[in-house]
């Protein structure tokens, strides 16, 4: 194997393999390379296994997990190297028309991948491949457009129909709402003579000759000669088989798209994309215009799909009901939905190709607005739905407020006071509170939560606090027991670990109402967790939980008040989109006496600087964290790194106690390690990301993060918030392994420059885009296919404003002109709006 479509990957893969795939940041344009190779592999019908490897590598390269990416590339490299008779060394022989391209890399030059690596393949299961063909989430789910193609009465080639159905594109609307993956400029087809070496272009010609050629060394290639009135060129494919002849029948007219190369023997395209050009009934669909290419289909299938979409468009696009009110559309200058779809599939001649490529032309803009608008409208209604149904009206009087404040061992900051009164006011109202509390690490959110809990408890209600990890739940359990002790409250810890008996006893206490406060992990929302009188729900570190979990916990009571806390400062635009159904409070002030954390980015060689700083702090009786990244995809290797790190540190600091703590340890072990660190018996805690959220050990003043480039900026910002929680200055060292390259270092420098979580978050969002910024936890909201929250912030703001105006003016969307909105909402949110009634 190892056809020419893989040649371009050989050098980068070899480079990466030599560095154990840890130098990903240093290979520029990898996604583009993969994309090109994938396109070629598809166009020449490479074996499905190969196409899959390529598309997995491409998907991973666009994802956020470096390890998934490394693993996918590793598999690809293994494949490149795998012995295969066809991959015998290729030697250029004089071919009748032209030579094969200069210096195709022999397979022997493919990356060497160590045996160990190759054998370690069993470790991570590759993430499931995202479906190639993606229909916009706004495709109607009922009505004529939801009719199946099979029963639509349209005459469709049975093989095409089967292929479409297999891809989940069995309905008329699926094709109408199928987003093209790219466009090709065929407004003017070039003559073969006009093609310029080194440039990509589209031309049309007739097949004069097509055959397999055996090169010296035994390698077979497939070559076709394409000619027109002006010239001829050779098309060369390094993958061949009986099927190739069928794609290049002599005398057939073909559209070729690719890059021309001039070789001593003549002009040539290697692995061009080819589409039959036999002008059938609808020449205008495929020629003389900008044509769409659809995802999920091989190149030779494009024509058929395009023709079908065209037929559907010409009949169905006009039948599309536009859910957006006409005046709104007029005011914002948006295309009607049907017109936008038509233009999506058949751009105007005057359309800007770059805009099309970047999905920001008028058609895409309309569709993006549509997605954002219904997202915001859903959120706005959900929020109103929550507000409309009555909840608990807590008795809040001055004495109770004072009592709550008095529980804190310190004076609340002004910000804490302000947020607490916002919460108290919400709680005193009959409608349920739904509030998001944002505050940088260490800003004192827990203290605010404790005061809110005190209000509910004094009124005889139960309170639940959900935290994302066992360690954090345990810490909150301890803190709240201490703070709320004076109220005589029984605090239960509800987690998924511990003895069955303990767990059952904790649950029984909660169910019977004997435990007034339940602190726990997700175990709190699981079935079997029952409350007697749940009045207030507190959720820590919201971004870890999906919207649905939040609602599930709230569903354990009769419309309890809900306060969600997050330390990830989410840029406002994004916060509105994600948490549009929540009111927002911000703790924008740190408790007094904090000294800012100094942050330094270090090269691995400079690590001794971090260690001497650690030693200096240890000598002063302080403690420190040394952090290693851990991701599922490369867990084994990561754990080895952390374990080795702990051993090295213990050797380097023989006088101190170094302890390892990672997420895969048994809960009891974790607790023991954390407890020992908290009590100061352990001075250096070597850990994976378990300390990421919320752990509070004020005596810890140093944090060293290894392979820091593997973390997101916001995550690092949270991590460094673990040190400098007391009055001692904190020090954070980010050791960037060289793998990340200069880019990664530049990114990390942001943290040297600012300690403002919001600025870090903005930067992070800018650099990584919202998907990665937020992780994959967007569950519970409709998917966005065209809109991009980072790029389309302005459009999103407009959509939000319009949605809110409508929701306010007509909260139940009862006006006749809003009927299409109701319909569209139901389809797009797929019933998830019903959650409003629960929360
Ligand atoms: P967050 O949850 O926002 O990261 P915490 O509530 O854990 O922050 O508070 C961080 C540390 O600051 C804790 O040790 C807490 O006791 C302390 N703290 C909180 N509020 C104040 C305050 N007003 N004055 C002094 N210390 C405070
Ligand atoms: Mg916290």
pLDDT tier for residue 274 given thresholds of 50, 70 and 90: confident
- Residue-level pLDDT at 515: 95
- Residue-level pLDDT at 570: 66
**Which ligand minimizes its atom distance to the CA of 725?**
1
- Residue-level pLDDT at 105: 34
Mean pLDDT value across residues 474-480: 92
Does the pLDDT at position 685 exceed 80?
yes
Per the rule left: phi > 0, alpha: psi between -120 and 50, beta: everything else, 394 is beta
**Ligand 2 centroid – CA 442 distance (Å):** 7
- Residue-level pLDDT at 168: 83
Give the gyration radius of the chain's Cα atoms. Answer: 31
d(CA 124, CA 634): 7
**Which ligand minimizes its atom distance to the CA of 442?**
1
**Ligand 1, from 441, 444, 564: best to mutate by most atoms within 8 Å of Cβ?**
444
Mean pLDDT value across residues 659-674: 85
Alpha helices in 389-441 (DSSP H): 398-406, 414-428
**Ligand 1, from 412, 416, 418, 442: best to mutate by most atoms within 8 Å of Cβ?**
442
DSSP letters for 715-743: HHHHHHTTSS-SSSPPEEEEE--GGGHHH
DSSP-based three-state secondary structure for 701: strand
Mean pLDDT value across residues 668-683: 90
Specify the range with the lowest mean pLDDT, choosing from 43-47, 415-419, 580-584, 759-763. Answer: 43-47
Mean pLDDT value across residues 63-75: 77
Q: What is the pLDDT of residues 785-816, one digit of tens each?
A: 788 766 787 888 899 889 989 988 988 888 88
pLDDT tier for residue 488 given thresholds of 50, 70 and 90: very high
107 vs 739 pLDDT, higher one: 739
Does the pLDDT at position 130 exceed 90?
no
Q: How far is CA 128 from CA 25, 219, 326, in A?
A: 24, 35, 41
391 vs 634 pLDDT, higher one: 391
Q: Which atom of ligand 1 is nearest to the CA of 445?
A: 3
**Ligand 1, from 413, 437, 446, 585: best to mutate by most atoms within 8 Å of Cβ?**
446
**Ligand 1 centroid – CA 430 distance (Å):** 30
**Average of per-residue pLDDT values in the chain:** 80
Specify the range with the lowest mean pLDDT, choosing from 505-514, 600-609, 717-726. Answer: 717-726
Highest mean pLDDT among 90-94, 175-179, 526-530, 787-791: 175-179
- Residue-level pLDDT at 544: 55
Does the pLDDT at position 242 exceed 70?
yes
pLDDT tier for residue 121 given thresholds of 50, 70 and 90: very low
Does the pLDDT at position 88 exceed 50?
no
Highest mean pLDDT among 195-209, 254-268, 605-619, 768-782: 605-619
Does the pLDDT at position 51 exceed 90?
no
**Which ligand minimizes its atom distance to the CA of 696?**
1
Highest mean pLDDT among 160-174, 508-522, 623-637, 792-806: 508-522
Mean pLDDT value across residues 393-416: 95
Length of the chain: 839
Q: What is the pLDDT of residues 337-373, one digit of tens each?
A: 999 999 999 999 999 989 998 888 999 999 999 988 9
Does the pLDDT at position 829 exceed 70?
no
Those residues with Cβ within 8 angstroms of residue 492's Cβ, 6 or more apart along the chain or in another chain:
506, 507, 509, 510, 515, 517, 518, 519, 520
**Ligand 1, from 447, 450, 468, 597: best to mutate by most atoms within 8 Å of Cβ?**
447
**Ligand 1, from 453, 591, 722, 726: best to mutate by most atoms within 8 Å of Cβ?**
591
Specify the range with the lowest mean pLDDT, choosing from 16-30, 150-164, 605-619, 628-642. Answer: 16-30
Q: What is the pLDDT of residues 377-403, one digit of tens each?
A: 887 776 676 566 678 999 999 999 999
- Residue-level pLDDT at 394: 96
Those residues with Cβ within 8 angstroms of residue 99's Cβ, 6 or more apart along the chain or in another chain:
92, 93, 263, 264, 265, 266
Spell out which residues line ligand 1, taking CB within 6 angstroms.
410-413, 416, 439, 441-447, 567, 591, 694, 696, 698, 725
Q: At what angle do helices 414-428 and 398-406 cross, to 10 degrees?
A: 140
- Residue-level pLDDT at 769: 54
Share of the chain above pLDDT 90, in %: 34
- Residue-level pLDDT at 2: 44
627 vs 710 pLDDT, higher one: 627
Mean pLDDT value across residues 596-625: 93
Per the rule left: phi > 0, alpha: psi between -120 and 50, beta: everything else, 150 is alpha
Residues facing 536 on adjacent strands: 463, 561
Whether the model clears a pTM of 0.75, i.e. scores above it, the answer is no
Tokens of 575: 């916060």
Instruction: Classify residue 777 as exposed, middle or buried by CB count within 10 Å of its CB (0-12, 13-18, 19+).
Output: middle
Mean pLDDT value across residues 515-519: 96
Contact (Cβ atoms closer than 8 angstroms) between residue 347 and residue 356: yes
- Residue-level pLDDT at 449: 97
Mean pLDDT value across residues 673-681: 91
- Residue-level pLDDT at 80: 66
Does the pLDDT at position 57 exceed 60?
yes
Alpha helices in 568-666 (DSSP H): 572-578, 607-619, 635-652
Q: Which atom of ligand 1 is nearest to the CA of 479?
A: 16
**Ligand 1 centroid – CA 512 distance (Å):** 32
C-alpha of 314 from chain center = 36
**Ligand 2 centroid – CA 465 distance (Å):** 12
| Of 260, 311, 335, 114, residue with least CA distance to 786 | 335
pLDDT tier for residue 138 given thresholds of 50, 70 and 90: low
pLDDT tier for residue 574 given thresholds of 50, 70 and 90: low
d(CA 518, CA 495): 10
**Ligand 2 centroid – CA 254 distance (Å):** 64
DSSP-based three-state secondary structure for 55: helix
**Ligand 1 centroid – CA 760 distance (Å):** 21
Residues facing 205 on adjacent strands: 254
- Residue-level pLDDT at 7: 64
d(CA 805, CA 719): 40
Does the pLDDT at position 546 exceed 60?
no
Highest mean pLDDT among 51-65, 120-134, 638-652: 638-652
- Residue-level pLDDT at 18: 65
Does the pLDDT at position 41 exceed 60?
yes
Does the pLDDT at position 580 exceed 80?
no
**Ligand 2 centroid – CA 479 distance (Å):** 11
147 vs 81 pLDDT, higher one: 147
pLDDT tier for residue 777 given thresholds of 50, 70 and 90: very low
Helix (H) or strand (E) holding 763: helix 757-774
**Ligand 2 centroid – CA 566 distance (Å):** 8
- Residue-level pLDDT at 694: 55
The sign of the dihedral angle between the CA atoms of 169, 175, 178, 181 is positive
101 vs 594 pLDDT, higher one: 594
- Residue-level pLDDT at 123: 28
**Ligand 2 centroid – CA 554 distance (Å):** 20
The sign of the dihedral angle between the CA atoms of 539, 545, 549, 551 is positive
Helix (H) or strand (E) holding 687: strand 684-687
Share of the chain above pLDDT 70, in %: 78
Mean pLDDT value across residues 293-309: 85
- Residue-level pLDDT at 128: 31
- Residue-level pLDDT at 241: 80
Provide the terminal-to-terminal Cα distance of the chain, rounded to the nearest Å.
57
For atom 21 of ligand 1, the residue with the nearest CA is 591
pLDDT tier for residue 232 given thresholds of 50, 70 and 90: very high
**Which ligand minimizes its atom distance to the CA of 479?**
1
For atom 5 of ligand 1, the residue with the nearest CA is 444
**Which ligand minimizes its atom distance to the CA of 441?**
1
Q: What is the pLDDT of residues 438-459, one digit of tens each?
A: 888 788 999 999 999 999 999 9
Q: Which atom of ligand 1 is nearest to the CA of 721?
A: 4
Highest mean pLDDT among 589-593, 642-646, 668-672: 642-646
């Amino acid at each position: 194997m190892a056809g020419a479509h893989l040649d371009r990957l050989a050098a980068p893969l070899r480079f990466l393999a030599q560095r154990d795939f840890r130098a990903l940041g240093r290979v520029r344009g990898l996604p583009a390379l993969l994309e090109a190779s994938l396109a070629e592999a598809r166009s020449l019908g490479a074996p499905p296994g190969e196409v899959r490897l390529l598309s997995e590598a491409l998907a991973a390269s666009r994802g956020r997990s470096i390890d998934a990416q490394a693993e996918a590339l590793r598999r690809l490299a293994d494949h490149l190297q795998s012995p295969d008779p066809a991959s015998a060394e290729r030697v250029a022989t004089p071919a009748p028309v032209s030579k094969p391209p200069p210096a195709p890399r022999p397979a022997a030059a493919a990356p060497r991948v160590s045996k160990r690596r190759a054998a370690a393949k069993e470790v991570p299961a590759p993430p499931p491949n995202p479906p190639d063909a993606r229909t916009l989430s706004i495709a109607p789910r009922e009505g004529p457009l939801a009719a199946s193609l099979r029963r639509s009465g349209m005459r469709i080639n049975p093989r095409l129909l089967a292929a479409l159905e297999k891809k989940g594109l069995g309905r008329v609307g699926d094709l109408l709402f199928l987003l093209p993956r790219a466009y090709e400029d065929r407004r003017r087809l070039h003559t073969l003579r006009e093609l310029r070496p080194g440039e990509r272009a589209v031309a049309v010609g007739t097949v004069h000759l097509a055959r397999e050629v055996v090169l010296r060394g035994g390698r077979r290639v497939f070559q076709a000669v394409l000619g027109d009135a002006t010239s001829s060129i050779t098309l060369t494919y390094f993958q061949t088989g009986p099927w190739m002849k069928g794609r290049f029948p002599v005398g057939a007219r073909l559209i070729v798209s690719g890059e021309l190369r001039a070789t001593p023997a003549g002009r040539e395209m290697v692995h061009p994309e080819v589409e039959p050009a036999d002008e059938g009934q609808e020449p205008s669909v495929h020629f003389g215009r900008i044509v769409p290419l659809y995802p999920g289909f091989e190149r030779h299938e494009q024509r058929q799909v395009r023709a079908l979409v065209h037929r559907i468009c010409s009949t169905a696009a006009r039948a599309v009901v536009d859910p957006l009110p006409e005046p709104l559309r007029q005011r914002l200058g948006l295309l009607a939905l049907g017109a936008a779809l038509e233009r999506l599939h058949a751009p105007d001649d005057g359309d800007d190709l770059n805009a099309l490529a970047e999905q920001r032309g008028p058609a895409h803009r309309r569709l993006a607005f549509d997605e954002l608008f219904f997202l915001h409208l859903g959120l706005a209604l959900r929020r109103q739905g929550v507000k409309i149904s009555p909840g608990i009206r807590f008795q809040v009087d001055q004495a109770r407020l004072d009592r709550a404040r008095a529980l804190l061992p310190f004076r609340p900051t002004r910000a804490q006071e302000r947020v607490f009164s916002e919460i108290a006011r919400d709680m005193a109202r009959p409608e349920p509170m739904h509030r998001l509390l944002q505050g940088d690490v260490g800003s004192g959110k827990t203290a605010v939560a404790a005061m809110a809990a005190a209000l509910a408890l004094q009124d005889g209600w139960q309170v639940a606090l959900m935290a994302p990890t066992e360690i954090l739940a345990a810490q909150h359990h301890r803190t709240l027991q201490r703070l709320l002790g004076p109220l005589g409250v029984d605090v239960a810890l509800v987690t998924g670990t511990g003895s069955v008996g303990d767990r059952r006893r904790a649950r029984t206490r909660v169910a019977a109402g004997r435990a007034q406060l339940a602190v726990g992990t997700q175990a709190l929302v699981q079935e079997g967790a029952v409350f007697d009188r749940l009045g207030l729900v507190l959720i820590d570190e919201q971004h870890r939980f999906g919207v649905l979990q939040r609602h599930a916990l709230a569903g354990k009571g009769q419309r309890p008040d809900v306060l969600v806390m997050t330390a990830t400062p989410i840029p406002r635009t994004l916060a509105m989109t994600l948490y549009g159904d929540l009111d927002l409070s911000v703790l924008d002030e740190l408790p007094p006496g904090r000294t800012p954390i100094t942050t330094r980015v270090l090269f691995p060689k400079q690590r001794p600087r971090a260690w001497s700083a650690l030693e200096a702090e240890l000598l002063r009786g302080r403690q420190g964290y040394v952090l290693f990244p851990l991701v599922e995809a490369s867990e084994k290797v990561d754990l080895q790194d952390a374990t080795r790190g702990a051993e090295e540190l213990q050797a380097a600091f023989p006088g101190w106690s170094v302890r390892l703590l990672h997420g895969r340890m048994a809960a009891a072990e974790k607790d023991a390690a954390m407890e020992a660190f908290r009590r100061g018996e352990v001075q250096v805690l070597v850990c994976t990301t378990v300390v990421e959220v919320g752990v509070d050990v004020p005596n810890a003043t140093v944090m060293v993060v290894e392979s820091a480039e593997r973390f997101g900026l916001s995550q690092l910002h949270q991590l460094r918030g673990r040190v400098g929680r007391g009055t001692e200055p904190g020090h954070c060292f980010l050791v960037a392994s060289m793998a990340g390259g200069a880019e990664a270092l530049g990114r990390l420098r942001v943290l040297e420059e600012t300690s403002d979580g919001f600025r870090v978050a903005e930067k992070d969002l800018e650099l990584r885009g919202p998907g990665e910024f937020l992780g994959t936890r967007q569950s519970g909201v409709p998917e966005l296919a065209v809109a991009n929250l980072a790029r389309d912030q302005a459009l999103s703001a407009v959509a939000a404003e319009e949605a809110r105006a409508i929701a306010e003016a007509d909260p139940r969307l009862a006006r006749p002109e809003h009927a299409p909105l109701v319909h569209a909402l139901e389809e797009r949110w797929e019933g998830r709006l019903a959650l409003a009634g629960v929360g």
